[in-house]
Structure 1
């Protein structure tokens, strides 16, 4: 059964519960063995609602990237369950897991990972073509409108700014209509102005395209674009914050260090 979670509007009234696009259930990840073993994630349970934008924050070594890698199927838990929709990733064969990641998960990283010899349009369509699927032209046009790169689709990465390249990478992640998009410090290599443009695009993708986004970040300003911030410390959930502001995020982060 798919877990649902309620959220509260700014007026304090409970909104309709949404299905979980992804979730962790008692998730544990241990690196190494014996006395040298490190418990990177220690019994985390959390749901990421469909159509919502969640930022994950915490001190270095808190387990935020580990959580994202486990829930997205890039890594395997030591114990507990990682799920996309109602599918337990541990029950899938390597082939089925690869197919699920291809069809239901989008990824955006610090490095744009664009193919330098392809145009922006070709980079956006590449994953679908590799999967043997015809790109959805109507969806593609809507994405291009939201991403604001209609006049750059014929340009190669070397002919675009860093922010434009990252927007192409995000459009590529969205092109296959994934259930959820994971971002690992997607603005980490961008200046503040360009980073704000990219974050605004992610925000618009959630608001206008009903996309689900989970983003690991260390930046309180970046986190403030999310609907909620999930805080981790020492491999455990240390709280969350709805409708975050940069100041409120900074205050919570300072509390984690005490």
Structure 2
């Protein structure tokens, strides 16, 4: 299957959503100093798809991801993961949700230096008292080409290898959703392209759902759909993006920035 064919796969026939929001608003502060990060956002994240979220600095893209993932509270509106509403859940329930059903890949690798790559990968499941599915874990490790690095500690790995370990950790429990916040920000161009290819394969070959916040048109071009935020609202979307088309669209929303 070619990369183009992969990116243009049909939405699942049942149109299932892995996450969705209705009337989602988030305000920081109060009174005259209040800042509206999200303003009544409705969004559907399709299951088994790769969605990129873009927008100018301060547009609310990271806030949207944090609210979808249950990492931040909402001021108004509702959020669902699968068919379960998560707004209003207590801290313990949200902790279990994030541990068992959501994977995270951040710009900083967040690996524990005293643990091997294998131990870092299985850490969330170890904390939750869950045994990994050996077949799935092997699939993730081989997909990310980490087989010969499993006994190495983070200081013995390159930046790209560390981010691949972080990606494997996010995928190891087979979560409903994988959130990636600027995952290539600390990587050189080659390692960044490699990681994006792995996220693409996680969707196409492993059936994962990935939501990625990025400012990079080249990174967004790996997605099936790009959502554009401006002033806390979704103002546009682009299916089957290319880097050139994303770049041109971003110039409309952020003309002051030199891309």
Question: Could you say which TM-score interval applies, normalised by the shorter chain?
Answer: over 0.9
Matched residue, 2:160:
163
Matched residue, 1:119:
116
The runs of at least 4 consecutive aligned structure 1 residues that moved more than 3 Å come to 9-15
TM-score (normalised: structure 2): 0.93
Q: Aligned in 2, Cα 1:11/1:100: closer, same or farther, shift over 3 Å? A: closer
CA–CA distance in structure 2, aligned partners of residues 10 and 167 of structure 1: 21
**CA offset at residue 12 of structure 1?**
11
- 1:194 aligned onto 2:194: no
Which residue of 241, 244, 248 maps to 1:244? 241
The RMSD of aligned alpha carbons is: 1.7
Q: Which structure 2 segments of 5+ residues have no match?
A: 1-5
Which residue of 132, 140, 155 maps to 2:129? 132
Is the 2:12–2:47 contact (alpha carbons within 8 Å) kept by the matching residues of 1? Answer: no
Matched residue, 1:178:
175
- 1:71 aligned onto 2:68: yes
Q: Which structure 1 segments of 5+ residues have no match?
A: 1-8
Alignment of 1:53-68 (within 5 A): 53-68=50-65
Which residue of 79, 88, 93 maps to 1:91? 88
Q: Aligned in 2, Cα 1:225/1:10: closer, same or farther, shift over 3 Å? A: closer
CA–CA distance in structure 2, aligned partners of residues 185 and 201 of structure 1: 15
Q: After superposition, what is the alpha-carbon deviation per residue over 1:189-221, rounded to whole angstroms, capped at 9, x for unaligned?
A: 001111000000000000000000000000000
**CA offset at residue 10 of structure 1?**
8.5
- 1:213 aligned onto 2:210: yes
SS in 1 for 2:113: coil
CA–CA distance in structure 2, aligned partners of residues 44 and 192 of structure 1: 33
**CA offset at residue 13 of structure 1?**
8.2
Q: Aligned in 2, Cα 1:251/1:17: closer, same or farther, shift over 3 Å? A: farther
The number of residue pairs the alignment matches comes to 250
**CA offset at residue 100 of structure 1?**
1.1
Is the 2:49–2:208 contact (alpha carbons within 8 Å) kept by the matching residues of 1? Answer: yes
Which residue of 78, 81, 84 maps to 2:78? 81
SS in 2 for 1:240: strand
SS in 2 for 1:141: helix
CA–CA distance in structure 2, aligned partners of residues 136 and 246 of structure 1: 37
Q: Aligned in 2, Cα 1:106/1:12: closer, same or farther, shift over 3 Å? A: closer
**CA offset at residue 15 of structure 1?**
6.3
SS in 2 for 1:39: strand
CA–CA distance in structure 1, aligned partners of residues 107 and 173 of structure 2: 20
- 1:104 aligned onto 2:104: no
CA–CA distance in structure 2, aligned partners of residues 187 and 15 of structure 1: 28
- 1:16 aligned onto 2:5: no
**CA offset at residue 16 of structure 1?**
2.2
Which residue of 201, 204, 220 maps to 1:204? 201
- 1:235 aligned onto 2:235: no
